[in-house]
Amino acid sequence: MLSVLETMVEAIVNFGKMVLWGLETCFNAISYATGVALEVIFTRLPSMPTVPKLNSGLLEEINWFYPFDVVFAALAAGVTMYLGWMGVRFLLRLLRAA
């Protein structure tokens, strides 16, 4: 009977240590998961293209410093969404008028 009470007292006395151990374990798990996520993200990134040759043309050199294909893709997506909204708006106004 006495050993059971000693075990209970030890558990109560060491409760703060157990909470701190749990918090430390959670922090370590979160930092490890963050490192793994960053490693996965950085390994999936494309490699940097090589520098264009000196006499390759002005457009290719500008495109190496600032890739315009991303800008054109975003512009095309925006124009497509805008035209789609114009079509939906036309249909909604047409159906409301009927």
| Segments forming the whole domain that contains residue 41 | 1-46
Query: In this structure, are 31 and 63 located in the same domain?
Result: no
pLDDT of residue 77: 96
Query: In this structure, are 28 and 67 located in the same domain?
Result: no
Cβ neighbours of 77 (radius 10 Å): 10
Cβ-count burial 23-62 (b if 16+ within 10 Å, e if not): eeeeeeeeeeeeeeeeeeeeeeeeeeeeeeeeeeeeeeee
Query: In this structure, are 68 and 95 located in the same domain?
Result: yes
pLDDT tens, residue by residue, 23-80:
999 999 999 999 999 999 999 988 776 766 666 677 777 777 777 778 888 999 999 9
Tell whether 51 is covered by a domain.
no
Q: What is the DSSP letter of 48?
A: P
Tell whether 16 is covered by a domain.
yes
Cβ neighbours of 63 (radius 10 Å): 14
Q: What is the DSSP letter of 67?
A: -
Residue 89 has pLDDT above 80, yes or no: yes
Query: In this structure, are 41 and 74 located in the same domain?
Result: no
pLDDT of residue 17: 92
pLDDT of residue 54: 63
Query: In this structure, are 65 and 95 located in the same domain?
Result: yes
The total domain count for the chain is 2
